[in-house]
Amino acid sequence: MRVFLLSCTAALTFAAPALAQDIVVTGKPLSQTEAELEACLKRQCPPDQDVAATLAHAENLFVAGKYKDSRTTLKASLGRNRQHGKAYPVPVSDLLRANSRIAEHVGEAKDFQLSVLEMRDTLKKGVGADDFRTLVAQIEVGDSRAKLGFAKDAERIYGEVEKKALNLGQHRVASFARLRKALLTQVAYDAEPTNAYLREKLGRELGQLIDQPLPGSDEFALAAEVLRAKVDRKTGDMASTDALIKRFAQRGGVTRPVLLYAEPLERALGDQDFPETMSGLNTLNQLTAIQNRGQWADVGFWISADGKVSDVDVLRKSGEQSWLKPVLKNIAKRIYAPLKQNGDTAPGFYMVERYTQTARIAEDQTGTRLRRREATPRIEVMDLTPDNYEAPKPEA
């Protein structure tokens, strides 16, 4: 399996070409990855082997819904291996990246922020400030700033990375940074659809990616076209979306899922939700309700030959699930690129995505140092799609 976090900034939900190593789940049983990690530690294995065994087991724990145990496993490994960042910068940075992603799903915003920064710094010290992996890590820092609500910081970071990557001749990294800037503008434009300045800015940023692509960056130009089609649909113009679908079909289809259309994800409001401005928020009942977060579900669905979604199903779940209803509706309305035909057999992709409802933990909401979760929940997503795209059986 492969597991990677889909960026909340990328409302388009288009997976641009990976420039940093994704987290990879081995598919081994939980008992086996636990035994392998224990055996590794018992023989005092080298740091890179320790990290590999840790990631395999921590990710298995996450998939099993054991978020706390997964985070504890990662933290313990960081305690053992953080000091080896200079000699093993990539493994240690992978460990920090995994820790940041799990922290997102449990609402630990501060740990998420600090882990991303330390991941970047580890690569900077180990492989150099000009290495493409360090620059991509800096883009991830920008993503974290955007996700935490600091859009101006994120835009500045993306711009700095773009400029540096261009000077170094790293065109794919520069295009990646440009795409992130456009995604950031798109999020702002979605919030203010009548803002002519934002629309013009977004058009300019997308036009640069599409009309003036840097060498070796065609995938990012395609991602920009998908985003522009999304913007056009907001005004009722479906021509660019139809043209994209037609182009993929004429090319014979795709061999991997490429999302062309998805509506914004709406969150279901439950009785346990409280507005941040509600008076008396620090009463015992309200605090108890707000702490009740962490529900998760694995959602599976088929992508047919024409790119339509069918058979959306909840494979596994934990906790109350009313918040999941708009997620299922959202997935069902997606449109993917037409798939490559295999003789007379129409292929299909089976996708599995983990959705977690959580809420960030804050220390400044009650006027004390008491840690509690924010009143407004959020939904985090990870891709758990099996590499062979075969459908697993739902839980009984």
pLDDT, residue 276, reads 43
Sorting pLDDT into bands at 50, 70 and 90, what band is 393? low
pLDDT, residue 340, reads 76
| Residue % of the chain over a pLDDT of 90 | 55
pLDDT, residue 178, reads 96
Q: DSSP H helical segments within 106-193, as ranges?
A: 109-127, 132-147, 151-168, 171-191
In the DSSP assignment, the letter for residue 345 is B
> Given CA atoms 255, 213, 178, 243 in this order, what sign does their dihedral have?
negative
Better pLDDT: 344 or 383: 383
Q: Which residue do the tokens 């493409």 mark?
A: 132
Better pLDDT: 361 or 370: 361
pLDDT, residue 287, reads 45
d(CA 318, CA 78): 28
For the cut 50, the answer to whether the pLDDT of residue 285 exceeds it is no
pLDDT, residue 374, reads 74
In the DSSP assignment, the letter for residue 392 is P
pLDDT, residue 125, reads 96
d(CA 373, CA 361): 4
pLDDT, residue 211, reads 93
For the cut 50, the answer to whether the pLDDT of residue 274 exceeds it is no
- Residue 307: both structure tokens together: 């790119």
pLDDT tens digits, residue range 134-191? 999 999 999 999 999 999 999 999 999 999 999 999 999 999 999 999 999 999 998 8
d(CA 149, CA 145): 6
- Residue 339: both structure tokens together: 């798939």
Instruction: Please give the C-alpha separations between residue 344 and each of 97, 341, 390, 391, in angstroms, as whole numbers.
Output: 43, 7, 19, 21
For the cut 60, the answer to whether the pLDDT of residue 7 exceeds it is no
d(CA 82, CA 47): 9
Average pLDDT over every residue of 288-302: 72
